[in-house]
Amino acid sequence: MKIALFATCIVDAMYPATAKATVAILERLGHEVVFPGGQACCGQMHVNSGYFKEAVPVIANHVAAFESDDYDVAVAPSGSCVASVKHQHPMIARSCGDRALEERAAAVGAKTYELSELLVDVLGVTDAGSQLGSWFPHRVTYHPSCHGMRLLRLGDRQQRLLDTVRGIDLTPLPEPDQCCGFGGTFSMKNADVSSAMLEDKAANITATGASLCSGGDASCLMHIGGGLSRQGSSIRTLHFAEILASTEQHPAQIAGEVQLLSGKAAQ
C-alpha cells in the first residue's frame, strides 16, 4: 500500500520523532510512505478560534496537497487533526460557500486515517510486539485525547496497541475520559480554567506511578508534558507511535532521565 503521511504542523515542527516513528512502523509492515511536500496544517486552530476566512486558504492548501490519486490512503499521528480534515474541512468550505472545495475536501477526508485506525482497521495489526517488533520496557499510562475518542470514535485502539508492546507496563489512568484542558487557543484565552483542568489531569497521571504518559495527539501531550514539567515532575510524555516504533535495536529516544523497568536509566 502507498501511504501518504500527513505529519501535522505541530509534529513536523516540534515533534519530528513522532513522524519518523510513524514512517518506521508503516515501512516495517512493508508499505511505501510518501510525504506530500505541499502539506502544512489542517487549519483547526483557525477554525476553532472562529477565524473561518483565514482557515480557508489553510484548508485549500491541505486539500491540494492530498487530493492526488498517487497514494491509497493518508495517515496522520493525530486524532484531532484527522477529525478536522474529515469533519471541519467540508463544513468550513460549505459555510464559506465554496461547494467545489467542499466536495474535494470530503474526498480527501474519506481516505484520511488516524494512525491507530489505519493500523488496526486497515492493516490488521493486533499485536504490536509480534507484528511490529515493538519493545518498550517502561511503566506507561495512557491518556485518550478527546477528539480521537469522541469525534473519531477510536475506542480502545491506541490502548490495545500499546498493551501488546513487549516489556511495557501499561497502568490505567484514573478518569481517562476527562479533557486535559488544552483546547487550542482555549489554553490561552481561558488559561485559568485550562490550568485547573490540567492540574487534575497531571495529578491523575502522577497517581499511576508511571514514568511516561502516552497518547495519540502531540498537542495534548505537549500541554500535559508542559504542565508536568512546570510542576518539576520527572514524568515525560511520548506519542504512542514512538512506543510502537521502539525496538531492542532502536529504542525510543526519550528526553531526560526515565527509569527503565529493569532499573537502568534510558536516554
Partner 1 sequence: MSQTFLGMPSLPVFGTGNLHASESFPKAAHRELGNAQLRANLGHATHTIRDKRLQVVSELPDWEQLRDAGSAIKESVMARLPELLEQFEKNFTARGGVIHWARDADEANEIVAGLIRETGETEAVKVKSMATQEIGLNEYLEEQGITALETDLAELIVQLDHDKPSHILVPAIHKNRSQVRDIFLREMPGADPALTDDPAKLAAAARTHLRRKFLTAKVAVSGANFALADSGTLAVVESEGNGRMCLTLPETLITVMGIEKLLPTWQDLEVFMQLLPRSSTGERMNPYTSLWTGVTEGDGPQNMHLVLLDNGRSAALADEMGRSALHCIRCSACMNVCPVYERTGGHAYGSTYPGPIGAILSPLMTGIQAEENSSLPYASSLCGACYDACPVKINIPDILVHLRGVDVDSKRGKKKIPTQMDAGMKAASWALSSGKRLGLLEKGLPLGRLAAGPDKKITKLPGIAAGWTQSRDIPAPPPQSFRTWWANEHRGPDPEGGPMPSHNKGDQQ
Subset of 18-37 contacting partner 1 (CB under 8 A): 19-21, 23-24, 27-28, 32-37
Find, among 48, 127, 130, the residue nearest to 91 by Cα.
48
- Of the ranges 46-54, 122-130, 156-164, 203-211, which one interacts with partner 1 (CB under 8 A)? 46-54
Subset of 167-186 contacting partner 1 (CB under 8 A): 177-179, 181-186
CB-count exposure of residue 34 (10 Å: 0-12, 13-18, 19+):
middle
- Of the ranges 67-75, 116-124, 205-213, 257-265, which one interacts with partner 1 (CB under 8 A)? 67-75
Quick one: which of 72, 126, 130, 193 contacts partner 1 (CB under 8 A)? Answer: 193
Subset of 208-237 contacting partner 1 (CB under 8 A): 222-223, 225-227, 229-230
Which of 152-171 are b and which e, b meaning 16 or more Cβ less than 10 Å from the residue's Cβ? bebeebbbbbbebbbebebb
| Residue 39 engages partner 1 in binding (rule: CB under 8 A) | yes
- Kindly state the smallest distance separating residue 175's Cβ from partner 1, in Å: 9
- Containing 259, the helix (H) or strand (E) segment is strand 258-259
Name the one residue in this structure whose C-alpha cell is 508534558: 225
- Kindly state the smallest distance separating residue 168's Cβ from partner 1, in Å: 18
> In sequence order, what are the residues at sequence separation of 6 or more whose Cβ sits closer than 8 angstroms to the Cβ of residue 192?
none
- Kindly state the smallest distance separating residue 63's Cβ from partner 1, in Å: 11
